[in-house]
Amino acid sequence: MNCKNNKLLAVFFDMDGVLYDSMKNHAISWEKAMALYSINYPPYYSYINEGRTGRNTINWAFNEKFNRDAMDNEIKNIYTAKTTFMQQLPKPEIMQGMQKFIQSLKNNNIKIGVVTGSNQKSLIDRIVIDFSINRNSIISGGDVKKGKPDPEPYLTALKRFNLKSENVIIIENAPLGIKSAKSANAFTIAVNTGVLENKVLKESGADLVYNSCTEMITNWPIICNQFK
Ligand code: CA
């Protein structure tokens, strides 16, 4: 993955649907957890709400169904159930090619950050091992007040790395994550690993959209040369 580029100092990755093929598990778990409160939450809802914190996701569903926010105990019950259902499912696979890709970026002295709305400890712990990433380089749901689509998660990452947005590329897969990244003024690549159409990702503001992680990786030298 040869790309010498003095402007590019870091790449920030979203976790679900970018580093791990985990969105199917989230969709199944949310559907089952919401059903405890008789809320119909088909997989499509998981994809359009992807990136929200657990609390915001549950409030979104409550507003759709009951026209009100959820109470704290309802949020706790649903999120606990969702986490339990997730843990019962097979461990999600690492996205094809991403381990090698991240290693090659590191070899070019490009810093790696992970920015996720998730607080799913089991997955966050895996990142450290699977991608040899320092825990301090991961911004998770607990590190921010406002989750995606607010820019706060990515602004928090920029601050932690002491970098400007013009020196960073962000890789996302979901509309709200793309909006968060673009609101932080960063060049944003979308990899379409879910069920939404490419145009949804483009309309959310992605600078480039690829059909898979491997397609993005194949095109990386071109992306890198364009990023000037
Ligand atoms: Ca995602």
216 C-alpha to center of ligand 1: Å? 15
Q: Are strands 168-172 and 138-139 parallel, antiparallel or unpaired?
A: unpaired
First CA to last CA across the chain, in angstroms? 17
177 C-alpha to center of ligand 1: Å? 7
7 C-alpha to center of ligand 1: Å? 26
Give the residue ranges of DSSP H helices in 131-219: 152-161, 175-183, 198-203, 213-218
Q: Where are the domains of the chain?
A: 10-22+93-226, 23-88
156 C-alpha to center of ligand 1: Å? 17
Instruction: Let me know if 40 is exposed, middle or buried by CB neighbors in 10 A (0-12, 13-18, 19+).
Output: exposed
Measured CA to CA in angstroms, residue 166 lies from 41, 197, 207, 212 at distances of 38, 28, 14, 24
Q: Which residues surround ligand 1, an ion (CB under 5 A)?
A: 14, 16-17, 50, 173-174
Rg of the chain over Cα atoms, rounded to whole angstroms, equals: 17
16 C-alpha to center of ligand 1: Å? 4
Position 4 pLDDT exceeds 70: no
Give the pLDDT score at 168. 97
Tokens of 39: 């809320």
- The answer to whether the 10-22+93-226 and 23-88 domains have the same CATH topology is no
Q: In residues, how long is the chain?
A: 228
11 C-alpha to center of ligand 1: Å? 15
67 C-alpha to center of ligand 1: Å? 26
Q: Which CATH architecture has domain 10-22+93-226?
A: 3-Layer(aba) Sandwich (3.40)
Q: Which of 59, 97, 71 is nearest to 219 (CA)?
A: 97
The per-residue pLDDT for range 180-216, each reduced to its tens digit, is 999 999 999 999 999 999 999 999 999 999 999 999 9
Tokens of 207: 């600078």
117 C-alpha to center of ligand 1: Å? 8
Tokens of 196: 């939404």
Please tell me the distance from the alpha carbon of residue 191 to that of residue 174, in angstroms, as a whole number: 8
134 C-alpha to center of ligand 1: Å? 20
- Cα angle 65, 71, 76; round to 5: 100
Q: Are 187 and 12 spatial neighbours (Cβ–Cβ below 8 Å)?
A: no
Give the pLDDT score at 117. 85
Q: Which CATH architecture has domain 23-88?
A: Orthogonal Bundle (1.10)
Q: Provide the whole-model pTM.
A: 0.91
The per-residue pLDDT for range 103-157, each reduced to its tens digit, is 999 999 999 999 998 877 877 899 999 999 999 999 998 899 898 999 999 999 9
218 C-alpha to center of ligand 1: Å? 20
Give the pLDDT score at 31. 98
Amino acid present at 107: N
